[in-house]
Amino acid sequence: MVYPNENAVSVRTELANRLFFRLYQCTNMLHKTGTRAVEAEGLTTQQWAVLGALSRPEAEGGMSVGDLARYLMVSRQNLAGLISRMERDGHICTAPDGRDRRSRLVTMTASGREVWAVKAQPKIHDYYEQALEGFSTNDLTHTLHYLLKLLENMKRLDDDKEPTQTNEP
């Protein structure tokens, strides 16, 4: 026997499967084609994201490693190797955070600012134009709206799984 809502549930599940698989494919293609767009500057998409985060006006004085990890939504462990490579390449530097000695502050170097603003930005802009070919401003606005909505739901799922602090022994 088929229940009245059974078909609707299977259609929704099928659409969800397709949506999340397409997001997975887009993520993989972003890493592949995005890195190709900036590889002449010695960057990967992950490094591009770090420089982009540090280039924001609110990060002018730098960001703690923890804040940068939260902003990029990556683990501190995954960020550690990336920061080391970028520091070795001269794009960023780290120093003890004056507000919290246990924390390290990540800032963009003059070399990193030049790579970001002068060399990478024009290539990133071209990449965006090519990747978004055929998208209207309205399409972009709607896509961004739905991705932000999805991201908020996934953040809530992540927050629900965080271990809770208790005062019990």
Tens of pLDDT, residue by residue over 87-109, are 999 999 999 887 777 889 999 99
Identity at 119, one-letter amino acid code: K
DSSP, collapsed to helix, strand or coil, labels residue 56 as: coil
Strand spans (E) along the chain = 63-64, 92-97, 100-108
Tens-place pLDDT, residues 32-72:
999 999 999 999 999 999 999 999 999 999 999 999 999 99
Cβ count within 10 A of residue 91: 24
pTM for this one?
0.85
Q: What percent of the chain clears pLDDT 70, i.e. is strictly above it?
A: 91
Tens-place pLDDT, residues 103-153:
899 999 999 999 999 999 999 999 999 999 999 999 999 999 999 999 999
Residue 168: the pLDDT is 43
Per-domain residue ranges for the chain?
28-157
Query: Which residues, in sequence order, are CB contacts of 157 under 8 Å at separation 6+?
Result: none
Say if CB 84 and CB 76 are below 8 A apart. Answer: no
- 28-157: CATH topology is Arc Repressor Mutant, subunit A (1.10.10)
CA dist 126 → 37, 76, 122, 143, 166 (Å): 8, 31, 6, 20, 51
